[in-house]
């Protein structure tokens, strides 16, 4: 069992501070997930590097901050890059993943991120998204939105947490699906478990 420093920090802050909104813990069990094929681009793949832990050298992890990539376990390729302007050719990856990444992105950036994911995916490739619903903040005193997450990888469990300034962030699966469809994606799968959601968005191969 792994307990990350951010997990403990948010737990302690929740006891002593009123400016934190701590969402009920969420669990992602990768034994229940379908296999992710081919070469994978992992957006926001620094920090815990969950996708890199799972798929190793098949993963190219991108993050805007070198220090976040340095924290991630060894195995995947690591590239400092902005998800809104990816330094990769068209149709160069089989899959794109976003594991609790979009919650850190302001809504006005979603469209460009989806465009870039669509561009670098091969025809028939899939964008996989795991994330949490973030409602519009209606409590000014609550400045931070956070969610503890347990990741199950085989018999191993990682207890971590993700937190973001709440004022300028909101997120829902319907919001993302709408943008994805306008970008050219089709919805392959949508699953919800309490306030967590999982999406598979496919870049259809219109040549077939």
Q: What is the pLDDT of residues 96-141, one digit of tens each?
A: 999 999 999 989 999 999 999 999 999 999 999 999 999 988 777 7
- Which residue intervals of 103-170 are DSSP H helices? 110-120
* CA angle (49, 132, 38) in 5-degree steps: 45
d(CA 140, CA 115): 33
Q: Is residue 32 part of a domain?
A: yes
In a domain, 26, yes or no: yes
Q: Is 207 part of any domain?
A: no
Domain count, the chain: 1
183 in any annotated domain: yes
Q: Say if 208 falls within a structural domain.
A: no
Q: Find, among 109, 99, 110, 175, the residue nearest to 136 by Cα.
A: 175
CATH number at residue 153: 3.40.50.150
Residue 83 and residue 123 in contact, taking contact as beta carbons nearer than 8 Å: no
Q: Has residue 192 got a pLDDT over 90?
A: yes
Predicted confidence (pLDDT) per residue in 169-183, tens digit = 889 999 999 999 999
Q: How far is CA 151 from CA 14, 15, 48, 175, 176, in A?
A: 21, 24, 10, 25, 23
Range of the domain at 50: 2-202
Answer yes or no: is 181 within a domain: yes
Confidence of residue 36 (pLDDT cuts 50, 70, 90): very high
């Amino acid at each position: 069992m792994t307990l990350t420093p951010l997990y403990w920090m948010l737990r302690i802050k929740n006891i002593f501070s009123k400016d934190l909104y701590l969402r009920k813990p969420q669990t992602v069990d990768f034994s229940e997930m379908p296999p992710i094929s081919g070469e994978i681009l992992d957006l926001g793949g620094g920090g815990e590097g969950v996708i890199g832990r799972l798929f190793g050298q098949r993963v190219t992890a991108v993050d805007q901050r070198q220090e976040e990539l340095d924290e991630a376990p060894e195995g995947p390729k690591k590239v400092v890059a902005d998800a809104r302007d990816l330094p990769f050719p068209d149709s160069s990856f089989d899959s794109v993943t976003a594991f609790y990444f979009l919650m850190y992105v302001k809504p006005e950036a979603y469209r460009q991120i989806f465009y870039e994911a669509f561009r670098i995916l091969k025809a028939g490739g899939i964008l996989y998204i795991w994330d949490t619903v973030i409602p519009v903040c209606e409590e000014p005193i609550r400045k931070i939105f956070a969610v503890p997450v347990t990741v199950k990888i085989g018999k191993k469990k990682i207890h971590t947490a993700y937190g973001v300034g709440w004022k300028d962030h909101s997120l829902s699966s319907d919001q993302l699906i709408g943008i994805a469809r306008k970008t050219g994606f089709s919805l392959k799968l949508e699953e919800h478990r309490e306030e967590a959601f999982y999406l598979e968005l496919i870049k259809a191969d219109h040549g077939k």
